[in-house]
């Protein structure tokens, strides 16, 4: 398969300008240059259609980032575009509440098992932060057991590597549970049982094969036995595993859950949802309030998006297409004797490529090499693999052709025990 003739001139030009005026050059680290192979990957994208994107220098790619998983239907998707255009003519934000807030809330109640009441936010981080404040208010406790990542706000990042600016006292209020390891939670409850306000966990964490040994139900029972609320962070899994989220798919209903990425096909809206009794108990004593919470373009987009997901049975498609991708990736990897070091992992709606160190080649170097060779052939891998309703058989075929050629380069690197020799840019640097 031919390597594309590309330039990155405009990307480089903007990146230089960006670093003079934007801290880190990006609003989201998962879009920045560190997570891509700098010098080889495009930096700026300008246009999208379906699952295809065009960088600022005019090169077309098949996108497996899909705007960090938000474009669940695809870029430039007519049904959502039309809903936004229609709403735009009527107004984007108002001095009083808007009827679409009610319509969207009722739609979430219809689809999501735990959602009896809710509030809308704009980002995943503000939704999880609201959920934690509500949980603390509900049972008068302050400590939290969290999972891998729930956003950038103080309550969950006090213990992170990049934690400057966060009051260190908050470290005493946060514990980390290990996914699928009930004992790690039991230990925390043994030591702090009466102080834990809530357990917040992703129903399926990145690079895992989902819950095993009834993990989610057992964790829910453990939390309840200790008087803590049980929360799902469904910012990623929501609308992907099923329209009712991973909670519907696994038939484990949490007390509260947060939603974001798949909610509106790329528009900024999120939600904290849960049992009505929780919201009713605390609503007079809590303050959660935001100017753009009732912004109408996102509400309109979300309603159109969720109706389309339902009508077209999009989650079923994501399971199907994800299964195919995973099987093909792993077959090709095996054909190239690289299965010990490179593996497509995860459940079909949430896939990723996992890498291992091989000889002198570091895990990040191997990952960089695959990303480099794919992007040179028009396939854009970023933080994780996100599929969409727009990804079709032809796109998958092209992806696999590029993957075969990319693994051939990896094979040569492994044989030479040296990936840097083949890297044309800077290896990726993990964010946290």
Residue with CB nearest ligand PLP? Answer: 124
DSSP state of 50: B
Q: Examine residue 260 and tell whether it contacts ligand PLP (CB under 6 A).
A: yes
Contact 124, 272 (CB under 8 A): no
Which of residues 149 and 189 has its CB atom nearest to ligand PLP in the complex?
149
Which of residues 74 and 238 has its CB atom nearest to ligand PLP in the complex?
238
Which of residues 236 and 361 has its CB atom nearest to ligand PLP in the complex?
236
Q: Examine residue 347 and tell whether it contacts ligand PLP (CB under 6 A).
A: no
Least distance between ligand PLP and beta carbon 68 (Å):
6
Least distance between ligand PLP and beta carbon 122 (Å):
8
As beta bridge partners, residue 119 has 272
Stretch that binds ligand PLP, among 38-46, 118-126, 297-305, 387-395 (CB under 6 A): 118-126
Tokens of residue 193, six digits: 């049982």
**Interstrand relation of 45-49 and 256-259 (parallel, antiparallel or unpaired):** unpaired
337 vs 339: CA distance, rounded Å: 6
218 vs 213: CA distance, rounded Å: 8
Stretch that binds ligand PLP, among 147-155, 174-182, 244-252, 366-374 (CB under 6 A): 147-155
Least distance between ligand PLP and beta carbon 232 (Å):
10
Q: Which of residues 165-204 bind ligand PLP (CB under 6 A)?
A: 202
Which of residues 63 and 233 has its CB atom nearest to ligand PLP in the complex?
233
Q: Examine residue 150 and tell whether it contacts ligand PLP (CB under 6 A).
A: yes
Sheet holding 174-176, edge to edge: 117-121, 270-274, 256-259, 229-234, 196-201, 143-146, 174-176
Least distance between ligand PLP and beta carbon 150 (Å):
5
The only residue of 75, 120, 138, 149 in contact with ligand PLP, by rule CB under 6 A? 149
Exposure on the CB side of residue 36, measured as CA atoms within 13 A: 23
209 vs 159: CA distance, rounded Å: 26
As beta bridge partners, residue 355 has 342
Q: Examine residue 128 and tell whether it contacts ligand PLP (CB under 6 A).
A: yes
Q: Examine residue 123 and tell whether it contacts ligand PLP (CB under 6 A).
A: yes
Q: How far is CA 367 from CA 167, 254, 425, 426, 427, in A?
A: 35, 35, 13, 12, 8
Q: Residue count at the site for ligand PLP (CB under 6 A)?
A: 12
DSSP state of 347: -
Q: Which residues of the chain form contacts with ligand PLP (CB under 6 A)?
A: 123-125, 128, 149-151, 202, 233, 235-236, 260
């Amino acid at each position: 398969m031919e390597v594309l003739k590309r330039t990155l001139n405009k990307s480089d030009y903007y990146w230089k300008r960006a670093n003079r005026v934007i801290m880190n050059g990006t609003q989201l680290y998962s879009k920045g240059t560190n997570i891509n192979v700098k010098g080889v990957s495009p930096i700026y994208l300008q246009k999208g259609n379906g699952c295809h994107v065009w960088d600022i220098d005019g090169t077309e790619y098949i996108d497996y980032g899909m705007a960090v998983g938000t474009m669940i239907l695809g870029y430039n998707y007519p049904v959502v575009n039309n809903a936004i255009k229609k709403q735009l003519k009527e107004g984007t934000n108002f001095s009083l509440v808007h009827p679409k807030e009610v319509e969207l809330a009722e739609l979430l109640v219809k689809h999501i098992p735990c959602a009896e009441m809710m509030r809308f936010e704009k980002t995943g981080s503000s939704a999880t932060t609201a959920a934690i404040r509500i949980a603390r208010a509900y049972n008068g406790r302050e400590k939290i057991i969290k999972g891998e990542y729930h956003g950038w706000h103080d309550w969950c990042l006090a213990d992170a590597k990049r934690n400057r600016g966060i009051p260190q006292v908050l470290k005493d209020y946060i514990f980390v549970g290990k996914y699928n390891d009930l004992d790690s939670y039991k230990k925390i409850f043994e030591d702090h049982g009466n102080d834990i306000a809530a357990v917040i966990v992703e129903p399926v964490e990145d690079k895992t094969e989902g819950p095993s040994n009834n993990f989610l139900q057992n964790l829910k029972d453990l939390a309840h036995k200790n008087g803590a609320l049980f929360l799902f962070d469904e910012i990623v899994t929501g609308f992907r595993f099923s329209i009712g989220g991973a909670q519907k798919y696994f038939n484990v209903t949490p007390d509260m859950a947060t939603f974001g990425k798949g909610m509106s096909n790329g528009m900024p809206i999120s939600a904290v949802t849960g049992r009505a009794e929780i919201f009713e108990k605390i609503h007079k004593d809590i303050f959660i309030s935001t100017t753009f919470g009732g912004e109408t373009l996102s509400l309109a987009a979300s309603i159109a998006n969720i109706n389309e997901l339902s009508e077209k049975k999009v989650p079923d498609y994501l399971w199907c297409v994800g299964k195919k991708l995973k099987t093909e990736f792993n077959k090709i990897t095996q054909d190239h004797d690289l299965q010990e070091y490179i593996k497509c992992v995860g459940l079909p709606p949430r896939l990723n490529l996992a890498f291992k160190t091989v000889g002198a080649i570091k895990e990040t170097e191997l990952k960089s090499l695959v990303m480099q060779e794919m992007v040179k052939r028009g396939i854009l891998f970023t933080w994780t693999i996100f599929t969409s309703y727009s990804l079709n058989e032809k796109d998958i075929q092209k992806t696999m052709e590029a993957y075969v050629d990319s693994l051939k380069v990896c094979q040569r690197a492994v044989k030479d025990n040296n990936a840097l020799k083949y890297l044309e840019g800077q290896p990726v640097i993990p964010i946290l």
